[in-house]
Amino acid sequence: MTRAKPGDRLQIDTFEMRLAREVERLLFPKSSPVCTWNCIGVRNRTAGVLGGDYFDFVSVPDGGLAVFIGDVTGHGLHASLVMALIYGFIHRAALDAVAPVELAAQVNDFLLRFAERSRTLDQYFSSTLFLGIIDPKTLAMDYVNAGHVPALVRRGGEVIELAPTTQPLGYFETIDTTTGSFRLAKGDRLLLYTDGIIEAAGASGERFGAERLRAALTGSEAGHTEFLGSLFKALRDFGIADPPEDDCTAMVVDIRGEEK
């Protein structure tokens, strides 16, 4: 029996990580849907081969659109594994038209059950989450924000902040969850993102910060795809390392008007 050499083992590990990355990518949308009453775009940059950010947009049975974004504690291989668990759970629940508050409570219980199996790994089974369900006929959005950075809505020259509605998931046996509600309007741009963007630091140590993100949001009239490209270029121009120290994800939903 031939014993594997250290270099061979490294090549296998590298191949397996790349394969895991390809499987991870299969979870997420490959392209934006055809623009109807909305246009959606997503941009993601992981800190390593694998990441802990997750996101998707799913049509629900009653005709609504579920959009969600989350950030698992940490990054790398362990975060990717936990992310895949959460992503699958949320995706299935969204297809079953589970209300945002109920879904957040279910994810919290789901994570706690895993955390109970190991006191040394329990802190890794936690995540922030923003989940909104938009009614295309009224543009009303019910949402839950579980410890995630605030979603932002650009309306004209104003930025409206949708603050968290409950704690991050996976920390507490019970969470005090409320439903947030917001009525979108034609011309609005909804921006969902992860904290890797605003907490990213340039060479000087200064963080990109929420104010620069807001300025990028209000200062661009470009389409959703072009806006995402300009946002990530702004991060590079600011001096953010590539790859970044933490996963960076942004999702844009442009509202074109109520569905007829």
CA 66 to chain centre: 13
Instruction: Find the mean pLDDT for residues 203-221.
Output: 94
Range in 48-57, 209-218, 246-255 with the lowest mean pLDDT? 48-57
What pLDDT is stored for residue 26 in this prediction? 76
Task: Give the model's pLDDT for residue 32.
Answer: 74
Unique residue bearing structure tokens 């704690």: 167
Segment of 72-81, 210-219, 236-245 carrying the highest mean pLDDT: 210-219
Q: Using 50, 70 and 90 to split pLDDT, how confident is the model at 2? A: very low
Where helices occur in the chain by DSSP H, the ranges are: 6-27, 77-95, 100-115, 195-198, 209-218, 224-238
Residues 149, 198: contact at Cβ < 8 Å? yes
Give me the pLDDT at residue 13, please: 67
Of 74-83, 127-136, 206-215, the poorest mean pLDDT is in 74-83
Least confident of 24-38, 60-74, 235-249: 24-38
**pLDDT reported for residue 10:** 47
Q: Which helix (H) or strand (E) holds 159?
A: strand 158-162
Query: Which CATH architecture does the domain made up of 34-255 adopt?
Result: 4-Layer Sandwich (3.60)
**Which amino acid is located at 67 in the chain?**
V
Give phi and psi for 39, each to the nearest 5.
-130, 135
* CA gap 205, 197 in Å, rounded: 14
The ranges assigned to domains in the chain are 34-255
Token pair in block for residue 139? 């543009």
Report how far Cα 144 is from the mean position of its chain's Cα atoms.
13
Whole-number Å distance between alpha carbons of 110 and 238: 39
Region 230-258 average pLDDT: 93
The average confidence (pLDDT) of the chain is 88
The pTM score is 0.90
Higher pLDDT, 5 or 208: 208
Please report the pLDDT score of residue 4 as a whole number.
46
Range picked from 29-43, 56-70, 144-158 for highest mean pLDDT: 144-158
| Distance of alpha carbon 195 from alpha carbon 168, whole angstroms | 13
Residues 128-151, mean pLDDT to the nearest whole number: 97
> Would you place residue 187 in the very low, low, confident or very high pLDDT band (cuts 50, 70, 90)?
very high
Reported as a single tens digit per residue, the pLDDT across 7-53 is 544 454 677 777 777 777 777 887 677 789 999 999 999 888 888 99
Bond into 136 cis (ω within 30): no
Burial bucket for residue 76 (CB in 10 Å: 0-12, 13-18, 19+): middle
pLDDT band at 120 (very low <50, low <70, confident <90, very high): low
Average pLDDT (138-158) is 97
